[in-house]
Amino acid sequence: MVDKIDIAIVGRGLIGGITALALSKTGATIALIDKIKTEKLDSIGFDPRTSTVSKTSKRMLDVLGLWKDLDAFSNPILDIKVEEGGPKNSIIFSSDLVPGEPMSYVVENDKLREIIFKKIRKKTNTILFDNFELKTISHSPQGIELFPKKDVKISTNLLVGADGRNSAVRRLAGFKSKCRQYHQKAIVLIVKHSISQRNTARQLFFPPGPLAILPLKDNRSSIVWTMDIPTADKYLKLPPRNFIKELESRVGKSLGSISLSGEILSYQLDLQFAKNIVSPGISLVGDAARIIHPIAGQGLNLGLRDVAVLAEVVVDALRLGLDPGDLYSLRKYERWRSLDTAAMVASTDGINKLFSNKIPTLAFSRKFGLKLIDSSNLIKRFFMRQAIGELGTLPRLLRGEEL
Amino acid sequence: MVDLSASYREVSQFEQSAQQWWDSEGEFSGLHKMNPIRLSFIKDRLCQHFDRHRDELKPFTGLNIIDVGCGGGLLCEPLSRLGAEVTGIDAGKNNIEVAKRHSKEKDVSVNYKKCLPEDVVKNGNTYDVVISLEVIEHVINAENFVKTCCQLLNPGGVIIFSTLNRTVESLALAKLGAEFVFRLVPVGTHSWRKFIKPSELAKFLRQSGLYLDYLQGMVYYPLYDEWRLGKNVRINYVISAKKPV
């Protein structure tokens, strides 16, 4: 059996799904492929992970018709409070500095996934292939050929690798990727608490590692606690009640009484990025292209910006009758994304180094740094524009326009 | 000597590189980079003139287009995907072979023929749209070439040419710069004396009874490695004209 398909996307996560939705507007036939079986995909069980959605990313989700369903499950962030040591030494990034909508929103990955796939199932030009493990990718004069199963062959003009951290597309297509371990683990959980956080996100910097508290609906917060691996393992061995006690002792009385909602998840942190993210007929998006430190909560935003640019480049090519897999347009995507990626890798890497360190001079410079940033609205605005995703030339979807 | 439009020296120069036509980072990378804006100009003009919707998947459905000097088919394939019935002719045998093979592989329908525009005139075939891009600066007699191309056009049809202007800038940039300094195109690709001013091209078109429709510059931005349409026609430009009904 041979299927001739215009665009094949591998990976049915958030980014793969959104890529399919963005490109489906072109009228092209799309295959969305994953090795996991369908019933597992719609809900992967309880997922405590959350993402921050920047102002520009929100516009994109709005254009793609996702935000109206997501709105009820998202919480705006109006202020970001960064604390070092204790609440006395803190700076506040207030949304008053950059007028307009809230600077970002916190959304639950679970809910976003549900909404994306409900929408995809209604698209007639998108075919879902489940239980397909990619074994080989080969180039032919016709385009790219995938052999997900013995008797099945998919022939496509453009293959998009949205298959995350251990991307099979990246490996099989021979993209070289650099990887560095942070020797850190992120502990992720959702808590209920008695005192409302309203719309303030907090970033606390103290030993054993930075702690982010992101506000969710109904007096809940998403906690991302980063620490070195041995310490994390020690904490993870604690019974949940004791773990929460430890957490309470760190955040003080600001949340009131805390209880765990759901389970605790943890994963090791590393920095990964592929030098090239395109080759003839193939491109990488999202975590398959690069993984950054979750410290600034920018992973999903970076992935969405990939999708916005790739979709624009592909749509423009299709509208001129050009082959979307042609290296010329894919290079444009690669160039357009390179600066943003480099800036984000460097800044998250740098912030993490600065704040998960016990060296006295660094401790001084971050205190000094916080003071300096706090005293200058100009620098604050720059950081906030970056968080909002407004630096650089914006593709149409991020400007809130149709493709 | 018979006054044939194609210059054999120049045809053979392109023929030697024919295998590279579809390598977007090879010898013809310049044309690949220029292609999106050339197509964009064509789409704009044709959609406006024939009252088609830009957002349709195949806005050129029902249009009969000939590409004179089609090379490896860089323009023919997109035009066909946009719905047109496309004929591509070229004086180079290798070019036509490469074009035929590629369109077959990509499953795009184009009617390729190794011949000169005067041969098509003799056969009595005419078209809604005649396009000849980056060709006129390579032919022996531009005035005759334009006249022949206009004979291929149906009444009410559109003709589109793109080429290089004969200015100090084009000598410096398109000839010396592109060939010798930046090596954007192979040395000997162009002969500056054969470059044509928009006013000259417009005169030739008027002599064939056509009226000018639109003139735009095509400007290369090295910083972005990208071509854009604009007002500056001092180096590269694209021009369209219409035949009265």
DSSP A28-69: --EEEE-SS-HHHHH--S----EEEEEHHHHHHHHHTT-HHH
CATH (residue range A2-179+271-399): 3.50.50.60
Mean pLDDT of A219-228: 92
Contacts of residue B24 in chain A, CB cutoff 8 Å? Answer: 326-328
B35 in contact with A, Cβ within 8 Å: yes
Nearest residue to A319 (alpha-carbon basis) of A266, A392, A396, A379: A396
- Which of B82, B105, B225 is closest, CB to CB, to A142? B105
Q: Which residue of chain B comes nearest to A336, CA vs CA?
A: B224
> Model confidence at A403, in pLDDT bands (50, 70, 90)?
confident
Contacts of residue B79 in chain A, CB cutoff 8 Å? Answer: 321
CB contact under 8 A, B36 and A317: yes
CB contact under 8 A, B25 and A327: yes
Nearest residue to B103 (alpha-carbon basis) of B83, B76, B82: B76
Contacts of A267 by beta carbon, 8 Å cutoff, 6+ apart: A185, A186, A188
Q: Which residue has the tokens 């990727």?
A: A177
If one compares A364 and A288, the residue with the highest pLDDT of the two is A288
- Which of A141, A326, A327 is closest, CB to CB, to B105? A141
Nearest Cα of chain B lies from the Cα of A392 at a distance, in angstroms, of 14
> Model confidence at A287, in pLDDT bands (50, 70, 90)?
very high
Strand partners, A187: A225, A266
Q: How far apart are CA A49 and CA A51, in angstroms?
A: 7
Amino acid at A121: R
Report the C-alpha dihedral over residues B114, B116, B122, B123, rounded to 10 degrees.
Answer: 30
Residue B3 lies in a domain: no
Q: Residue B126 belongs to what domain range?
A: 8-242
Mean pLDDT of A379-402: 70
Query: Which percentage of chain B shows pLDDT scores above 90?
Result: 68
Mean pLDDT of A102-116: 90
> Model confidence at A152, in pLDDT bands (50, 70, 90)?
confident
Mean pLDDT of A100-124: 89
Average pLDDT, chain B: 90
In b/e form, how buried is each residue of A216-228, taking b as 16+ CB within 10 angstroms?
Answer: beeebbbbbbbbe
Span between the terminal Cα atoms of chain B, in Å: 36
CB contact under 8 A, B43 and A319: yes
pTM comes to 0.88
Contacts of residue B225 in chain A, CB cutoff 8 Å? Answer: 335
Mean pLDDT of A143-156: 82
Q: How far apart are CA A352 and CA A339, in angstroms?
A: 20
Contacts of A356 by beta carbon, 8 Å cutoff, 6+ apart: A184, A209, A210, A226, A227, A228
Average pLDDT, chain A: 84
Q: How far apart are CA B47 and CA B28, in angstroms?
A: 28
How confident is the model at residue B50, as a pLDDT?
97
List the 142-201 stretch of B: residues with Cβ below 8 A of A.
none
Mean pLDDT of A71-80: 89
pLDDT at A342 over 80: no
How confident is the model at residue A135, as a pLDDT?
85
Number of other CB atoms surrounding residue A98 within 10 Å? 17
- Which of A27, A321, A335 is closest, CB to CB, to B79? A321
pLDDT at A263 over 70: yes
Q: Which CATH number covers residue B92?
A: 3.40.50.150
State pLDDT tens for residues B26-82: 888 889 999 999 999 999 999 999 999 988 889 999 999 999 999 999 999 999 999
Residue pair B59/A343 in contact by the 8 Å Cβ criterion? no
Task: Of A125-129, B119-123, B186-190, B221-225, give the lowest mean pLDDT range.
Answer: B186-190
B24 in contact with A, Cβ within 8 Å: yes
Task: Of A143-152, B76-85, B146-155, B172-181, give the lowest mean pLDDT range.
Answer: B172-181
How confident is the model at residue B57, as a pLDDT?
83
The SS3 of residue A248 is helix
Mean pLDDT of A72-93: 80
State pLDDT tens for residues A291-315: 887 776 788 999 999 999 999 999 9
Question: What ipTM is given for this predicted complex?
Answer: 0.89
CB contact under 8 A, B24 and A328: yes
CB contact under 8 A, A320 and B79: no
CB contact under 8 A, B39 and A321: yes
CB contact under 8 A, A320 and B39: yes
Contacts of A215 by beta carbon, 8 Å cutoff, 6+ apart: A75, A77, A106, A197, A198, A199, A200, A201, A221
How confident is the model at residue A37, as a pLDDT?
74
Domain range list for chain A: 2-179+271-399
pLDDT at A380 over 60: no
CB contact under 8 A, A316 and B39: no
How confident is the model at residue B1, as a pLDDT?
35
If one compares B172 and A262, the residue with the highest pLDDT of the two is A262
Nearest Cα of chain A lies from the Cα of B99 at a distance, in angstroms, of 13
B8: left (phi over 0), alpha (psi -120 to 50) or beta: alpha
State pLDDT tens for residues A34-62: 888 766 655 556 788 899 998 889 999 99
How confident is the model at residue A175, as a pLDDT?
94
pLDDT at A210 over 80: yes
If one compares A344 and A306, the residue with the highest pLDDT of the two is A306
Query: Which percentage of chain A shows pLDDT scores above 70?
Result: 82
B228 in contact with A, Cβ within 8 Å: no
Contacts of A342 by beta carbon, 8 Å cutoff, 6+ apart: none
> Model confidence at B2, in pLDDT bands (50, 70, 90)?
very low
- Whether omega for the bond prior to residue A208 falls within 30 degrees of 0, making it cis, is yes
Nearest Cα of chain A lies from the Cα of B210 at a distance, in angstroms, of 27
Residue B1 lies in a domain: no
pLDDT at A356 over 70: no
Q: How far apart are CA A71 and CA A107, in angstroms?
A: 9
